[in-house]
Amino acid sequence: MTLEYGTADLKEFTDSLILTRGSRHEDWDTLGFQAKAGDQFKRAQIRYVGSGATGNHENDNRTIASQGFTFSNMLLPSGAEGPEHTHHDAEEAFFVLEGEVEVGVHRDGQVEKRTLGYRDMIVVPAGVPRSLKNNGDKDALFCVIIGAQKPQIPTYPETSAMHGVTRD
């Protein structure tokens, strides 16, 4: 939780801007509803700034409130997938830290796939459907940046394994 710059002690304010790896945790539940479409959709979100697009984590006191973007890490186990979906209101960027991630960009039933590795990045514009898959034999870890303070919940087109899957 970020303190107020003008009123907080400068040391405490500065400390409130720091998010350490040790203070993070792997949240396997926030996207857990997607496993109803298959175990391959199990993955963990590790939040730093904001809630991401699919969860309601405003009360997570380990994160900094978003002022204009969200930032998290995604842990994608070997064989796991991030289903096709679209963020209509914000661009989304992926920056690979460990492993390899296959990214698919979808249009009219076609999919263009690219494999990203260590320190590779893709930026997907708002309104463009995309998917992810870890085809490697080890976990992939990558940064996820969404360019909105609280993105709209993404939509899942009929071609997505998540189409019709509910959170309840």
- Convert the pLDDT of each residue in 36-58 to its tens digit: 888 999 999 999 998 776 666 66
Contact by Cβ (8 Å): 82, 35: no
Looking at the DSSP assignment, which residues form a beta bridge with residue 132? 82, 103
Identify the three-state secondary structure at position 47. Answer: strand
- Range with the largest mean pLDDT of 13-22, 51-60, 145-154: 13-22
What is the rounded average pLDDT for all residues in the chain?
A: 89
Percent of the chain exceeding pLDDT 90 equals: 61
Q: What pLDDT does residue 1 have?
A: 65
List the structure tokens of 50: 């904001």
pLDDT of residue 161: 82
What's the whole-model pTM score? 0.84
Reported as a single tens digit per residue, the pLDDT across 53-99 is 666 666 777 788 888 898 999 999 999 999 999 999 999 999 999 99
What pLDDT sits at residue 167? 67
Query: What's the average model confidence in pLDDT over 108-113?
Result: 96
What is the Cα–Cα distance from 89 to 77, expressed in whole angstroms?
Answer: 28
Q: Which carries the bigger pLDDT value, residue 32 or residue 46?
A: 46
Which amino acid is located at 45 in the chain? Answer: Q
- In the chain, what is the straight-line distance between the N-terminal and C-terminal CA atoms, in Å? 29
Burial category of 99 from C-beta neighbours within 10 Å (exposed 0-12, middle 13-18, buried 19 and up): buried
Give me the amino acid identity at 40. Answer: Q
